Amino acid sequence: MKLNKATRFALFAVLELANSPERHLSATEIANKYEISVHHLVKVLHSLVRSRLVTSVRGAGGGYRFIGNKKRTTLLDIAEVFEDIRQPPVIPEEGDDTEIGIALSQIMLEIDDIAIATLNSISIDTFLKTMHYYQEDIPQPTI
Amino acid sequence: MSKKEPHIIHQTETISPEHKFIIRDAIAADLPEIIKLDSQNTGIKKEDYWSDAFERYGNSYDGFFHVAENDSCFCGYILGEVRAWEFGSPPCGWIFALGVHNDAREMGVGSGLFESVCEHFREAGIDKVRTMLARNDNLNMSFFRSQGMRSGPFIQLEKNVTN
């Protein structure tokens, strides 16, 4: 699974805003921190406002603020604002109809299933509370 | 098999005084409530399984079988054990089962039960806890994630052997 650019920007924005609930952050502040395009981020933020995950306040001291439920909103919920992860569009590719092509597709679906279950199990609250665990190395099996 | 005397492990006050609960070793009298809760959560009543589990984990030193209760009302259970070298894994704590009553959700009962078993694992010199879940079990997967658990270095595989 590869998340598209808008999804990735949305995850940065929502997690950043939810991590500073007392502050309004501008698109420029978020874009500068993650070194991403402000123009593209503004479009993403508009989609998040329409989805009622984020609100925007105009004027001095204004900006964006997370208004979703941190315990109920999962990473998958955010991703699904921008792409249909559970049922991505089927784009036929060469070799798909062959015996090996069909088996390869099944393996890719298996990987996607695990990715979807993972994204759906991590709420914004859990992500922010546990992200420090992800800075450790994953131990290797001894087999 | 060596028997152990049940005792209170934790007395925990969570979000408000009325949500104060204790965590203690399971006793035989808890089994009907455990079987009922598991049956509600999984849709399958497994009396023999839970009787065996109590004999193996609750009534001996082989594992940890804890329950949470609030004013003598049953709130939930957890079952765990230290296992070593299966699948090449060094000794680690396993959580086999966890259940929290619907009316006791979001009061810290699950976290309290999880921490009670982790404390036993730490006392046994264990620094890793593992569990296994159905991929579509979002409720339990979200709970264990919220406790800081993540994918480990093992992956479960299976095949149909009947054809």
A133 interfaces chain B, CB cutoff of 8 Å: yes
Please check whether residue B162 lies inside any domain of the structure: no
Nearest chain B residue to A139, by CA? B153
- The DSSP bridge partners found for residue B82 are B93
On whether residue B89 sits in a domain, the answer given is yes
- Three-state secondary-structure class, residue B92: strand
Q: CA end-to-end span of chain B, whole Å? A: 41
Residue B141 is part of a domain; what is its CATH number? Answer: 3.40.630.30
Rounded average pLDDT over B1-21: 62
User: What is the rounded CA–CA span in Å between residue B39 and residue B43?
Assistant: 5
Rounded to an integer, the average pLDDT of B42-47 is 92
- Please list the pLDDT of chain A residue by residue as tens digits (143 residues): 778 999 999 999 999 999 998 889 999 999 999 999 999 999 999 999 999 999 998 887 789 999 999 999 999 999 999 998 888 777 888 998 999 999 998 888 888 889 999 999 999 999 999 887 777 655 555 55
Query: Does the pLDDT of residue B161 top 60, yes or no?
Result: yes
Helix (H/G/I), strand (E/B), else coil: B80: strand
Q: Is A87 on the interface with B (CB under 8 A)?
A: no
- The answer to whether residue B163 is domain-embedded is no
**Residue A60 and residue A54 in contact, taking contact as beta carbons nearer than 8 Å:** no
CA distance B29 to chain A (A): 34
Q: Tell me the pLDDT band of B47, cut-offs 50, 70 and 90.
A: very high
Q: List the single range of B9-13, B38-42, B122-126 with lowest mean pLDDT.
A: B9-13
Task: Give the chain A residue whose CA is nearest to the CA of B90.
Answer: A142
A125 and B151 in contact by Cβ < 8 A?
no
Average pLDDT, chain B: 88
The CATH architecture annotation of domain A5-135 reads Orthogonal Bundle (1.10)
Query: Per the domain annotation, does B125 fall within a domain?
Result: yes
Query: Looking at residue B1, what is its pLDDT?
Result: 45
Q: How many domains does chain B have?
A: 1
For chain A, the structural domain boundaries read 5-135
Residue in A122, A125, A142 nearest the CB of B88? A142
Nearest CA-CA distance, residue B145 and chain A, Å? 6
Calpha distance B76→B23 (Å, rounded): 9
Rounded Cα distance, A21 and B129, in Å: 32
Residue-number span of the structural domain to which B25 is assigned: 8-146
